[in-house]
């Protein structure tokens, strides 16, 4: 038992380091892309005619079960059967390598930070370029967004996907290993593709959305707590000096000049005050989960997220999170990246600690 959990910790750290170093290389086949193609294929064939809610429920449940069972069989049955005769620990190398690769695929911290940073860089060049760049990471229609709305959308996505792309996969890895982690990614992909309350998806995707709500209930709140902790502990990490890049926060982030006049330290705030802010505004989001990490970041930045936006040509009303409609700046980007990166570090450390305690 201890050896299995020890292997899990090594795989976790190696997989996370790969994500930190490389993100999601465009040339590398990605299982989440395959998930998306699977969902799209069946959605176009099943989401028509009558009984759409039933068909959507069966499709979601069968798909989720298939991913868990097939991954469990691969990791726990097939790979251990492979005989590595020249090696002393037969089967361990293959199992470890596949686990590392799947963990790498399931984490999205580096790519998330890079994409959000690129939105701000694009917006500095032109509003149209900023709109096109933010369209890569949000589901809303972006053609008519203002510069403030583009920045808001990017930072909302950063907070929400810190939970979906980092903390939640780690949470399910700690509970159910690699099969649980990969199954969560399928649940999240289902929700991101068909879990909308639009005319097209409101019946077919409602089960996918509810399952995702359950899967993210604890991780979303844990994400908010981690963000509050790292924003409150001022001495965890110094800000970059002028001329340094965001590599101080993420060794793979592309260079951006740091200006101490416009890049303040993390907002001085009471941890209790931020918790109260999150309790007040976290539940106001249309999603039962997304509002909590978004509220944490809005409280840290002292800004306002939310508002009505168009999705697939239909207006979707989202209550405001926060009450300060001030303009967002590049300074807020630096603060947000710092908070999210440090929260990710804490989440990885916490997962490793949990696995270690389970091994005792």
10-residue block means of pLDDT along the chain (360 residues)?
A: 69 95 84 95 95 96 98 88 52 79 95 95 95 90 90 96 97 96 97 89 95 97 96 57 42 40 48 87 89 95 86 76 92 93 96 88
**SS3 (DSSP) at 316:** strand
Helix extents (H) in the chain: 2-22, 31-46, 52-73, 79-81, 92-106, 109-125, 127-134, 147-162, 168-194, 206-232, 271-282, 291-301, 330-359
- Domain membership of residue 81 as a residue range: 2-359
pLDDT digits (tens, 9 = 90+) for 159-211: 999 999 999 999 999 999 999 999 999 999 999 999 988 889 999 999 999 99
Instruction: Tally the domains of the chain.
Output: 1
- Express each pLDDT in 312-345 by its tens digit: 677 777 889 998 999 999 999 999 999 999 999 9
Contact assessment for residue 36 and residue 189, using Cβ atoms and an 8 Å cutoff: yes
- At 274, list the tokens: 């931020």
- Lookup result for tokens 């330290």: 265
DSSP state of 305: B
**How much is the pTM?**
0.87
Provide the token pair at 313. Answer: 């040509």
């Amino acid at each position: 038992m201890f050896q299995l959990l020890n292997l899990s910790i090594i795989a976790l750290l190696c997989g996370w380091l790969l994500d930190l170093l490389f993100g999601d290389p465009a040339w590398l086949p990605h299982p989440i892309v395959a998930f998306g193609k699977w969902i799209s294929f069946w959605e176009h064939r099943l989401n028509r005619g009558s009984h759409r809610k039933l068909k959507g429920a069966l499709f979601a449940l069968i798909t989720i079960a298939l991913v868990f069972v097939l991954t469990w069989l691969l990791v726990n049955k097939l790979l251990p059967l492979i005989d590595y005769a020249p090696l002393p620990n037969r089967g361990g190398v293959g199992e470890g390598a596949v686990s590392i690769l799947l963990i790498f695929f399931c984490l999205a911290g580096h790519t998330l930070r890079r994409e959000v940073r690129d939105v701000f860089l694009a917006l500095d060049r032109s509003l149209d370029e900023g709109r096109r760049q933010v369209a890569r990471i949000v589901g809303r229609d972006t053609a008519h967004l203002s510069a403030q709305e583009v920045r808001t959308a990017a930072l909302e996505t950063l907070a929400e996907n810190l939970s979906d792309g980092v903390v939640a996969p780690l949470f399910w890895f700690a509970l159910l290993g690699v099969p649980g982690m990969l199954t969560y990614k399928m649940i999240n992909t289902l929700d991101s593709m068909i879990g909308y309350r639009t005319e097209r998806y409101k019946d077919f995707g409602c089960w996918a959305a509810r399952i995702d709500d359950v899967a993210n209930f604890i991780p979303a709140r844990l994400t908010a707590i981690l963000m509050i902790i790292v924003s409150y502990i001022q001495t965890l990490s110094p800000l970059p000096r002028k001329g340094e890049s965001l590599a101080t926060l993420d060794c793979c982030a592309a260079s951006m000049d740091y200006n101490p006049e416009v890049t303040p330290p993390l907002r001085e705030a009471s941890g209790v005050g931020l918790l109260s802010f999150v309790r007040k505004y976290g539940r106001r989001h249309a999603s039962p989960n997304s509002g909590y990490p978004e509220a944490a970041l809005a409280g840290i930045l002292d800004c306002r997220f939310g508002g009505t936006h168009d999705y697939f040509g239909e207006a979707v009303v989202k209550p405001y999170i926060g009450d300060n409609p001030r303009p967002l700046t590049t300074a807020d980007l630096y603060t947000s990246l710092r908070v999210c990166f440090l929260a990710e570090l804490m989440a990885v450390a916490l997962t490793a600690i949990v696995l270690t305690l389970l091994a005792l």
